[in-house]
Amino acid sequence: MAWLHIVAPPSYGATPSVRSWCSCGRDLFAAGHTRALALIADHEQHRTTCPLLASTEGTAADERPEHARRTDRRRRAA
């Protein structure tokens, strides 16, 4: 799972900031217009290349491993 937290204050001259987290251990922070935009672009690129995300994002429920589907069936039966 990956998160992108953007703080863009509405007042003129305020400095925006961005934080990018990922379940692979990524934890980056940037402040300022140029650096914030660069980190946003980098975060989007990371989402396509991270081995943890590439194997799970966009996966339909029935495409999960068999053990995960079995666990769900047991929960519904209980």
- Residue 33 parent element (H or E): helix 33-49
pLDDT of 61? 46
What value does the CA radius of gyration of the chain take, rounded to a whole number of Å? 18
Q: How confident is the model at residue 2 (pLDDT cuts 50, 70, 90)?
A: confident
pLDDT tens string 22-49: 989 999 999 999 999 999 999 999 998 9
DSSP state of 75: H
Rounded to whole angstroms, how far apart are CA atoms 5 and 17? 8
pLDDT of 70? 52
pLDDT of 58? 53
pLDDT tens string 43-77: 999 998 988 877 655 544 445 455 554 555 455 55
